[in-house]
Amino acid sequence: MTRFTVNNQPVEYELDPATPLLWALRDASNLTGTKYGCGTGECGACTVDIDGKAVRSCTVAIGNIEGVFVTTIEGLSRDRSHPVQQAFLASNVGQCGYCIPGLVMTAQALIRANRNPGEDQIKAAITNLCRCGSYPRIVAAIQQAAAIARGDETIDTTPRPDTDPAEAARAVPALAPPPPKRPTS
Order of strands, edge to edge, in the sheet holding 69-71?
A: 9-13, 2-6, 69-71, 47-50, 53-56
Q: Are 124 and 100 in a shared domain? A: yes
Q: Are 32 and 66 in a shared domain? A: yes
Note whether 86 and 148 are within 8 A (CB). yes
How many structural domains are present in the chain?
2
Tens of pLDDT along 42-101?
999 999 999 999 999 999 999 999 999 999 999 999 888 999 999 999 999 988 889 999
> Is residue 159 included in any domain, yes or no?
no
Q: Supply the pLDDT for residue 159.
A: 59
Phi, psi of 56 (to 5 degrees): -80, 110
* Per-residue DSSP letter, 123: H
Last residue of a domain, one of 48, 75, 102: 75
> Is residue 20 included in any domain, yes or no?
yes
Q: Are 23 and 71 in a shared domain? A: yes
Domain residues for the domain of 87 are 83-150
Closest to 147 measured CA to CA, from 114, 103, 104, 105: 114
> Is residue 163 included in any domain, yes or no?
no
* Per-residue DSSP letter, 65: -
> Is residue 49 included in any domain, yes or no?
yes
Cα 143 to Cα 110, 136, 154, distances in angstroms: 11, 11, 13
Q: Are 7 and 66 in a shared domain? A: yes
User: Going by DSSP bridges, is the β-strand pair 69-71/2-6 parallel, antiparallel, or unpaired?
Assistant: parallel
Q: Are 91 and 71 in a shared domain? A: no
Q: Supply the pLDDT for residue 140.
A: 96
Tens of pLDDT along 4-48?
999 999 999 999 999 999 999 999 999 999 999 999 999 999 999
Q: Supply the pLDDT for residue 167.
A: 55
Statement: residue 161 has pLDDT above 70: no
Cα separation, 165 vs 75, whole angstroms: 27
Note whether 15 and 70 are within 8 A (CB). no
